[in-house]
Amino acid sequence: MTEKREIRSFRDLDIYRLAFKLDHEIYKLSLKFPKFELYELGSQIRKSAHSVPTNIAEGWAHWTIGEYKHFLIYASASIDETTVHLDSALARNYIPKEKHQYFVDRYSTLAKMLHSLIGKLKAKQ
C-alpha cells in the first residue's frame, strides 16, 4: 500500500516536481545548441519548458477550480510547444535521437498526468 502525502503547496504535486525537473534539464540541453541558436530556438525552448511548472504553480494560487483548470490547460499547451521545439532541435541535428525520445516520453507522461488532474477537477465542478 502506498502512503498518501499531504499536499500543502504546488511543490508537493508530482506534476510540478516532474515539470520543474524537465525545465532544468531542458535549460541545460539548450545551452549546448550552436551559439547562433542560443537566442532563437534555445530561448524559445527554455521559455516554453519554464512555462509548464510556472503555470502549475500559478494555477495553484487561484481560488477557484475553473481558474486552476485554466492554468493547467496553459501548462499542457506549453508541453506541446516544447515538444515542437524538441522536434526542431532533432531535425537540425542539435540533439541526438535518444535525447529527443527521452524528453518526448517524459513530456508525454506529464501531459497524461495533467489531463488526469484536469479531468478530476472537472468532476468536482
Alpha helices in the chain (DSSP H): 14-30, 41-60, 65-91, 97-124
Q: What is the pLDDT along the chain (125 residues), one digit of tens a residue?
A: 455 677 788 999 999 999 999 999 999 999 999 999 999 999 999 999 999 999 999 999 887 889 999 999 999 999 999 999 999 999 999 999 999 999 999 999 999 999 999 998 888 77
Distance from the first to the final alpha carbon of the chain:
29
Half-sphere exposure of 8 (CA within 13 A, CB side): 2
Q: For residue 93, is it left (φ>0), alpha (ψ between -120 and 50) or beta?
A: left
What span, in angstroms and rounded, lies between the C-alpha atoms of 58 and 17?
14
Give the dihedral sign, CA 76/19/85/116: negative
Question: Quick one: cell of 115?
Answer: 489531463
Q: What is the DSSP letter of 96?
A: -
pLDDT, tens digit, 9 for 90 and up, residues 79-104: 999 999 999 999 999 999 999 999 99
Class of domain 12-124: mainly alpha
